[in-house]
Chains A and B, each alone.
Chain A
Amino acid sequence: EMTVSTDGSTSMEKVIGSLGEAFSNKYDDVTFTYNPTGSGSGITAAQEGRCDIGLSSRALKADEAKTLDGTTLALDGIVVVVNPANKVNDLSIDQISKIFKGEVTSWKDVGGADTPIVLIGREAGSGTRDGFETITNTKDSCKYRQELTSTGDVMTVVSKNENAIGYISLASMNDKVKGVTVEGVAATEPTIADGTYKIQRPFVLVTKKGAQLSEGAQKFIDFAFSEEAKPILIKAGVVPVAKK
């Protein structure tokens, strides 16, 4: 009986959940667990050996990369979402940046109704937030009305509040919320794969440098990068990346 324990990013939930399920279906003798805690904590868990594989929805930072190996499993778009009732369909990176910095506070300034903009963000430490703020150049200056602890939560709030804007992982996208195009480009697999959709970040499998992976963990990583896994990743809404 082997076990594979993974721990980390909540935005990778769907991806890793699907992979894990397919993996357990394939090998009867392994138990696969996924603990959706967040990228930061997944990285720490990998470092402290509390899990076999850490899951991060952002690239490892320099000091983290000293002790850890990060392998990019897939690319994920970060979709800027609004309530389906919102008339705004497209925003530029600059507009997004101004909105989240609180410089633009009404939807009418970006072509929408005359209502206040309600900013929904993720909590400090989230890989999604880190990726979004880095790319839109809003690091540390977002004026969030709410800081929520998961992708699902952001979707719920945005879907319930006509004034809200937030950002979520493409993998989790559904029609409860509306994704806006960024500089005319919609977040889709091709646009992410070729880099024309700007707001994207990697999904990374994190392991301890130099440490021997358990048999199960090795099997899982091999599985994740196999041809067999590709359709699963695509179905989960992300763009697979070949193992380097």
Chain B
Amino acid sequence: MQNNLPLRRKAYCGTMNFMMLLCTGITVALTFFLIIYIAVESIPHFSVKILTTKPSYLDDSIGVLPDILNTIYIIITTLVFVLPLGIGAAIYLTEYAKSKKLVGMIEYAIESLAGIPSIIYGLTGMLIFCQFFSLKTSLLSGALTLVIMNLPTIIRTVQESLKTVPQGYREGAFGLGAGKWHMIRTVVLPCCIDGIVTGCILATGRMIGESAALLFTAGFAHALNGFFDALTHSGATLTVALYVYAKEQGEFEVAFVIAAILLVLSFITNMSASYVGRRFQKSKG
């Protein structure tokens, strides 16, 4: 009974094995290529100046500080709106909703929101926020568009973590005469704070990566503004700036710098999401 698999089976297993290794190899190689290519092209152009100035036509110089700030502003603004909305909706769905029909309808809506491509968000955001609510092309319009776009992410992650809260906690609180909202506030929410944080991080990642939805809603000015000023003005986030520099202006050096920044940000969000996720699982035993 030594190894004597028939040739046909050996060939099949060999082929499959080869395909798997090949495809995994391609995927890994691709990722490495991206990382190394961006690193090699961008590192020579990194400088304190490029990170801390705004572009100037008069001096013919380029800086990405406004884009970094705009990105931060838009993330903060979006989170301020999307968190209460998303967490609230998730709480309704998991803790309150009784009617199957209503839940089905809301979940269908959320699924639909998740599937809509960002260019369509961009257009409707432009129609609704820029025009209907006359917010003009501004970071605020962009942020509000991102709010709707990111609702599904937040709702889903919060729902997932709400579901991991043991039913016993709820029963225990009710058994002591707590009302539902009181119970949620004092027992359920503290338990799933990590899940909410994970949701925030994931959503932040999506916001950093978004471009098509912002092009028509937030525009692409590179003005250096304070937070509240910036909200009412047009401004490019890093991703939009990358598009504009690479595609519209042919300024590849700065585009590579932005690409590298985005890569690092993506890495950081992934790492922190999985770190929080792991902690979450640990605390749940």
Contact = CB atoms under 8 A, between A and B. Distances in A.
Q: Do A and B share a direct contact in the complex (Cβ within 8 angstroms)?
A: yes
Interface of A: 3, 5, 7, 10, 13-14, 17-18, 20-22, 25, 31-37, 48, 50-51, 149-153, 155-156, 159, 176, 232, 236
Interface string B243-280: 01001111100000000000000000000000000000
Given A14-B57, A50-B130, A50-B136, A34 B249 contact: no
Interface of B: 56-58, 130-131, 136-137, 219-221, 223, 225, 229, 233-234, 244, 247-251
B57 A153 contact: no
A34 B219 CA distance: 9
27 contacts: A3-B233, A5-B136, A5-B234, A7-B137, A17-B57, A18-B57, A20-B57, A21-B57, A25-B58, A31-B223, A31-B225, A35-B137, A35-B220, A35-B221, A48-B131, A50-B131, A50-B136, A149-B247, A149-B248, A150-B249, A152-B248, A152-B251, A153-B248, A155-B250, A156-B247, A159-B250, A232-B58
Given A35-B137, A35-B220, A50-B130, A10 B248 contact: yes
Nearest to A22: B58
Given A159-B250, A232-B58, 10 more contacts: A5-B136, A21-B57, A21-B58, A31-B225, A33-B221, A33-B233, A35-B137, A35-B221, A51-B136, A153-B250
A35 B138 CA distance: 10
Contacts, number: 63
Contacts of B225: 31
* Chain B CB within 10 A, most for which of A17, A33, A36: A33
B58 A152 contact: no
A25 B221 CA distance: 17
Nearest to A51: B136
Contacts of A32: 223
A33 B234 CA distance: 7
* Chain A CB within 10 A, most for which of B130, B223, B244, B248: B248
A5 B138 CA distance: 11
Contacts of A149: 247-248
B57 A236 contact: yes
Q: Sorted from nearest, which 10 A-B pairs have the closest CB atoms?
A: A150-B248, A152-B249, A17-B57, A156-B250, A18-B57, A152-B250, A35-B219, A152-B248, A35-B234, A33-B221
Contacts of B58: 18, 21-22, 25, 232
A31 B221 CA distance: 12
* Chain B CB within 10 A, most for which of A22, A36, A149, A159: A36
A37 B249 CA distance: 13
B136 A152 contact: no
Contacts of A13: 249
B223 A33 contact: yes
A233 B220 CA distance: 23
B29 to A, nearest CB: 25
A226 B149 CA distance: 46
B90 to A, nearest CB: 36
* Chain A CB within 10 A, most for which of B57, B130, B223: B57
A7 B234 CA distance: 10
A103 B130 CA distance: 44
B254 to A, nearest CB: 12
Contacts of A35: 137, 219-221, 234
A50 B247 contact: no
Contacts of A176: 250
A48 B130 CA distance: 11
Given A18-B58, A21-B56, A21-B58, A34 B250 contact: no
Nearest to A37: B219
Nearest to A232: B58
Nearest to B218: A35
A159 B247 CA distance: 13
Given A150-B248, A152-B248, A36 B220 contact: yes
A32 B222 CA distance: 11
Contacts of A50: 130-131, 136-137
A152 B247 contact: yes
Given A150-B247, A153-B247, A34 B221 contact: yes
A233 to B, nearest CB: 12
A155 B248 CA distance: 9
A114 to B, nearest CB: 28
B177 to A, nearest CB: 55
A144 B221 CA distance: 30
Contacts of A159: 250
A232 B60 CA distance: 12
